Amino acid sequence: MKKSPLEIKILSKMQPGEITLNGFLGEDSRDLYDIIAEDERTLETLGVSANELADKMQYFTDKSSDSFMDSVEIDEIFIVDTEVVRGKLPCPFSHPGIYRKTITTLTNKKYNITIRWTALNIHLIKEHHFFEGKNSAFRLDPQVLLKALFA
C-alpha cells in the first residue's frame, strides 16, 4: 500500500541522524503502522494499556528524578536512576512538545530485569503506542516492560 505524505514525513524523522543518532526503527523493515499494530495486539493479550505502562514509567522517572541524580530504591524491588543530559528532542510524529533528554534505568530485583527508557519513549508509548522498531537502541518490548514495571 502506498504511504501517505504524513507517514513519509514521520518515517523520514525516524531515520538515523534525523532526531537521534540511531533513529527509532532499528533493523525493523515492517511498515510503521504494522509495528504499532503488533505491539497493540501484544498489549491486548497482556491485558494492559499503553497508558498504564507509560504512566508507570513516568512514576518511576519522577521518583528517581526527585533523588537528585542518585539511584533510588522503591518498594524493595526496584532500583531506579534517571540521568539528565543537556538538550531536548521533538516527537517524530510531529506531535506538539519537546522532551528532555533523560535516560531512566530501572532494575527489577525480583525478576532480575534491567530496562531503560527516555522521556520521549514515555510520550511515544502513551500518545502513539509506539515502542520503537525491533533492535532499535531504545526498543521496549511490551511484555518485558510489563514484567519489569509491575512486580
pLDDT digits (tens, 9 = 90+) for 112-142: 999 999 999 999 999 999 999 999 999 999 9
Cell 506531535 identifies what position?
95
Instruction: Please name the helix (run of DSSP H) or strand (run of DSSP E) that holds residue 140, with its range, or none.
Output: none
Whole-number Å distance between alpha carbons of 89 and 105? 19
Q: For the whole prediction, is pTM greater than 0.85?
A: yes
Cα separation, 127 vs 16, whole angstroms? 22
Give me the amino acid identity at 77: I
Matching residue, cell 521518583: 63
| pLDDT tens column, 51-99 | 999 999 999 999 998 776 689 999 999 999 999 888 999 999 988 889 9
In whole angstroms, give the CA distance from residue 13 to residue 94: 9
Angle among Cα 98, 31, 27 to the nearest 5 degrees reads 80
* Distance (Å, whole) CA 101 – CA 72: 19
